[in-house]
Amino acid sequence: MTGELVRAADAAQYVREPIPEEQRGQIRVRLLNATPDPLGSIAALCEQYKGHVIRALSEVTDEQRKSCLDDMGKTVLNGPLEVAQFHFQIEGVTRSITHQMVRSRASFFAQESLRFAVPEGDWADEIPYPPSIAGPQDTSATENARARWREAMMNAQHAYEDLLNMGIPAEEARGVLPHDMPTRIHWVCDLRTLLAEAGKRTCTQAQQPWRMIFAGIANALRERGRPGTSVMYPNAYGANPDGWQFMLIADKLRPVCYQTGSCGFMAAFDRSCKIRERVGILGSEGAGLPSDTWHNPYPVHEGKAPISIQSWEWAADPTAARS
């Protein structure tokens, strides 16, 4: 372990809380707060579009709640989705990903500051290997890449510590820190933004950590929806009778092709995709099958093997967008 810092150029600096050792290399998502009856609020707005005045959410039926969420996926007039708000805390995500995350114009973010939060100890060990060299690979090329990666992280740690100990302010010394420095960020967004981001970020076009983030978001929503008091929500949040709504919302966090029935990345500058051709055959431009059936074998032509799309192909394969 390296020594503690001996100088601080700014009295506002404080020691950053390290990522817990058992969570290193992982992304942890927590749902801190949410609109209690999200689909009821959305349905109340949608019913007014049809001339039905709703004055209390108790007047909304569960069937109306379910149908309005389906309707929102069939129209560009999906503004009612903005009444459902979510507050997530995400820990262990890298700054290279949060640089992308904060591009969302319809969200609020609060991120751990490296201007004041000074990492101490062996924080280079918190920085995960990228997917291409992580996992069980044991080739000499992979081992060499891991060694070079770890060497670079340790060099950055030592340079950062030396600069701080020379009296350089943390807001300047942070310039030598790696893009993949783990961080914590609060994300406050509405359902319209959440679905739009899921459409882009669970697609193969996005980096693999994005799929991990949305898997964590889906898990956090499902945890919120499970009956009974939970460990994650000790204040009886899990006992919410409307918990099924969060389960339903979690199931909607899919790539844009699953949400619309066709690929949304067809420009010349978009990357390749290993499932795009099958989306065209199975989706709205071909057989018109709903995306929740795409995992079932579909007989394309007599004499040819049936085709299907399995979720792991886009959710778990970090190379799915590489030619």
- Dist CA 8 CA 14 (whole Å): 9
Contact between 257 and 203 under an 8 Å Cβ cutoff? The reply is: yes
201 in active site = yes
- H or E stretch covering 92: strand 85-94
Could you tell me the CA-to-CA distances from 124 to 93, 128, 178, 180, 212 in Å, in that order? 14, 9, 9, 10, 21
Matching residue, tokens 């809380």: 17
- Dist CA 146 CA 85 (whole Å): 41
- Other CB atoms within a 10 A radius of the CB of residue 61 amount to 10
- Dist CA 215 CA 217 (whole Å): 5
Matching residue, tokens 């058992």: 22
Q: Which of 184, 201, 226, 276 is catalytic?
A: 201
Residues classed as catalytic: 201
